[in-house]
Structure formats: structure tokens, C-alpha cells
Amino acid sequence: MYSMSEFSKLCGTSVKTLCYYSDIGLLKPSYIDHLTNHWYYSHDKIQTINKINLLKSCDISVLAIKELVETGNENIIKWKVVLERKITELEGLKKHIAWHIQEMDKLKQRME
């Protein structure tokens, strides 16, 4: 078991974020010592927080992440749908950025 601060450092997630995740039911501590009010996380929570961090880095909303984490690995179809939706969104953004780059290049060339 890891204390909250140890778990926070180990996973690169702030204590404040861990509290938020617990409040919304995304990642609950494995054990709470009610005498000291210290929170502890078991080793298996590392895999969960790593999934959460990966999905967050892909700009997937915390609510969507919560839904995915709750379904677990057994609902691969749901995971694929969310990831495909995000890929489509990012492809659109990529095209939008490419268009802006082209327009700025044209403007720059006219200025020269």
C-alpha cells in the first residue's frame, strides 16, 4: 500500500487531483484510515491511474474517462468508439491547423 503522497509522486498526479478523482468516483483510495484520515492506494491502482493519465493526455474528458474506467476492459467496443471519436476530432483539428499554416505562409509570401 502507498500513502496518498507516495502514490501521487509515483504516478505523477497531484494530491489535489487524487482528491478530485475520489470525489467524482473515478479513483477511490483502496483504504482510508478513519483514525488519521490518511488515504492509501494499493499497487493495482497504478494501472488505473496510468490509463486515466493516458486518456487525459489525449484530451478525453474526465467524465468520458470515468465511464470508460467503470466499464473496464470487458467493454472493448465502448473503448473503441470513444477512441475513434477522438481520432476523428483530432484529424479535423489537424486539417484546420494545416489550413491556417497555409494561409499564414501565403500572407508571409505576399509581405516579402
Q: What is the pLDDT, as a whole number, of residue 24?
A: 93
At 63, the pLDDT band (50, 70, 90 cuts) reads confident
| Span 24-51, average pLDDT | 93
pLDDT at residue 21 greater than cutoff 80: yes
User: Nearest to residue 52, comparing CAs of 30, 24, 91?
Assistant: 24
Reported for 51-54, long-range contacts at CB under 8 A and 24+ positions apart, including other chains, are 52/21, 52/26, 52/27, 53/11, 53/12, 53/13
